[in-house]
Each structure stands twice: as structure tokens, then as C-alpha cells.
Amino acid sequence: MQQPLILAGARSEELAAGLKGRDFLALADYTPEELRYLIELAIELKRVQKFGEAYHPLKGKTLGMIFEKASTRTRVSFEVGMYQLGGQALFLSGNDLQIGRGEPISDTAQVLSRYLDGIMIRTFAHRTVIELARASTVPVINGLTDSEHPCQVMADYQTVLEHKGKLEGLKVAYIGDGNNMAHSLLMGAAKLGLHMSVATPEGYEPDAAIVKQTQAVASGTGSVIHVCRDPREAIEGADIVYTDVWASMGQEAEQAERERAFAGYQVNEDLTKHAKADYLFMHCLPAHRGEEVSEGVIDGKHSIVFDEAENRLHAQKAIMAALM
């Protein structure tokens, strides 16, 4: 027997029907209304879980989880999320699959589609996710690539909404590397009506094509997207202050070089004086205290990093329930 829709209303039913069977590769693929629906669904699924209510729309379904990059939050949150939705998750290490021995990703996709109801992949090149989705007949969810981190950003903006009561018109300041987090945060801000300023050292800017794309989206939603060098310029009047590690997974050899480049980009007590008095600090984790953020900020009263980490569970449950 089919489970009742958890968000009532004709428009919610229409949106739910339109999401079924789709991939979740990048926020650019979704309309602002669809992203808001997924965030609202995540908040409702969180309420259901907190009250101990049963909701099992994925009973009997299996998610395959391909990991070519190690993870704490991604693996645990997807695995627990599938269990809570009534299904099961299967961990697939890149070293254990034939893609680690040269099998074309398209062949892997077609085979796994015969066994699974959905595939989550956490990998390096974004083209790998695109090729996997192109050949798959079941939904593919991007758990992280070097270019995008859309599930994290859904959890991020869910957390902002829960703490601030709104998204539209808030200002996000991102200080640090113009990496996958910056890319997805920018698109999410543009889609959802937030303003966003990014401050990076020269040579570490977010991808110019992605910035241009987000600015085009922002022109239709009222957002303002700004990229600069000066962290103080970016953080001025910010409601949300965000940073990430200076050297992401796969960039360990660049650690010393990046520490020199980012020396003036630490989010600390002096820098955050320029944000709003009630600013919130966010970080996708893992964090390196004393590098991209001071202990006083990440462990201080403005930090919501563990609420943010928890919401990976709820945001991803919403994505899986909607797509699968």
C-alpha cells in the first residue's frame, strides 16, 4: 500500500510527482520551487523522526553507495537515512567495484540499475557522476564531486531556515577556497534568494563559468552574487559566515602552499566583528581548528556546525524519498 504524501496540498503533490525518478547532480538542475519543497520535506521528515513516528516510503528499496572518496557524514547519514525510510543501503567501495579495474562507468551504471533502486556516488571528477547518471535507469544522487556538493548545501540552507526563519534577503559570506562548497552554496543562494559574497586569494576563485551561471539565476530571484579578494569586504553585514578547509581531499600535497596563500583568510574573532551581531557560523566539516577557523569561532555561541551536520541526514532523506 502506497504511503500518504507527507506534505499535503495539490501543489505539493504536483511537485512530488515531478521529482520522482530524477537525478540529483547539481542545484542548477532544480527550480527554486523544487528546492524549497525539498527543504520543507526535510524539515517535516526531521519532525517525524524526532517524534518517533514511522514513515517508510522506501520499504523494500535499496540504495547503492559508491565511495571513491572516504567520508564520515556522507556514509553514515545516507545509510541511516535509508534505514529510517524503510529501505537499506549498500556500501560499495571504489576499490571493490570493477570501475576500479577499468570497467566503463556506463557499464557499471547499467548493471547496478538492474539491482538497485537508486545510486549515490561520492567521487572526484564531476563528469563521472554525469556519465553514471546518463547510463543509469535509476536515480543518481551526487554525494560530492570536486565541482559540486549539492546535498551538503541542501542541509545548509535547511539549517539557516530553521535558525533564521527565512532565507530570502539574508547575506552569506564565504571566506576561503573557491571549491565545490563555494560553487553549490552560490547556486543555492541564487536559487533561494539569498545574497552571497565570496572572498578568496588570487588563483583560488570559484569557477568563472559557475559564477556567471549563478549571477544569471540571481538576476531573476533578486539575489546579489559578489566575488572579491578582501575577507572584510565579503563579511560586512553578513548573516551567515561560512568557510571550508584550505586543502580538500586530494590536495594534501598543496597543504603548505595553500597555508601561505590563505594566511589572511582565517575566520576568527577579529574578522567576524564585521558580520552582524547575530551572525551564524557554518562549516561543512571536517574542520581544522587554527587554520581556516579559530577555536573561538567554531566552538563559540554563533556556531551551528553540528546542527548543520545533523541536517545532512534529514536533507538527504528528503532527496531520497522524493526521487526514489
**Residue 163 bears catalytic tag:** no
Indicate the pLDDT class of residue 211, thresholds 50, 70 and 90: very high
- Residue 3: the pLDDT is 55
Could you say which of 23, 49, 266, 284 is catalytic?
284
90, β-bridge pairs: 64
Query: For the packed helices 73-84 and 305-323, what is the interaxial angle rounded to 10 degrees?
Result: 50
The number of beta carbons lying within 10 Å of the beta carbon of residue 25 is 21
- The answer for residues whose C-beta is within 8 angstroms of residue 127's C-beta and 6 or more apart is none
Asked whether the predicted pLDDT for residue 1 surpasses 60, the reply is no
Distance separating alpha carbons of residues 9 and 161, to the nearest angstrom: 21
Active site residue 195: no
Model pLDDT, residue 171: 98
Q: What is the 3-state secondary structure (H, E, C) of 37-103?
A: HHHHHHHHHHHHHHCCCCCCCCCCCEEEEEECCCCCHHHHHHHHHHHHCCCEEEEEECCCCHHHHCC
Looking at 156, 312, 314, 316, which residue is catalytic? 312
Q: Catalytic residue at 244?
A: yes
Q: What number is the average pLDDT over the span 6-24?
A: 94
Is residue 229 part of the annotated active site? The answer reads no
Check if 122 is active-site: yes
In single-letter form, the type of residue at position 32 comes to P
pLDDT, one tens digit per residue, over 192-207 is 999 999 999 999 999 9
Per-residue pLDDT, 42: 98
Grid coordinates belonging to 164: 533564521
Question: Of 42-46, 67-71, 136-140, where does mean pLDDT reach its minimum?
Answer: 67-71
320 vs 324: CA distance, rounded Å? 6
Q: Domains for the chain: give ranges and CATH numbers.
A: 10-149+311-323 (3.40.50.1370), 152-308 (3.40.50.1370)
Distance between first and last Cα of the chain = 16
Q: Is 266 helix (H, G, I), strand (E, B) or coil?
A: coil
Whether 152 is catalytic: yes
Which candidate in 23, 177, 239, 244 is catalytic? 244
Say how far apart CA 298 and CA 78 lie, in whole Å. Answer: 25
Q: Calculate mean pLDDT across residues 81-105.
A: 88
pLDDT in the model for residue 96: 78
Residue among 291, 274, 293 at smallest CA distance from 283:
293
Return the bridge partners of 241, or none.
173, 281
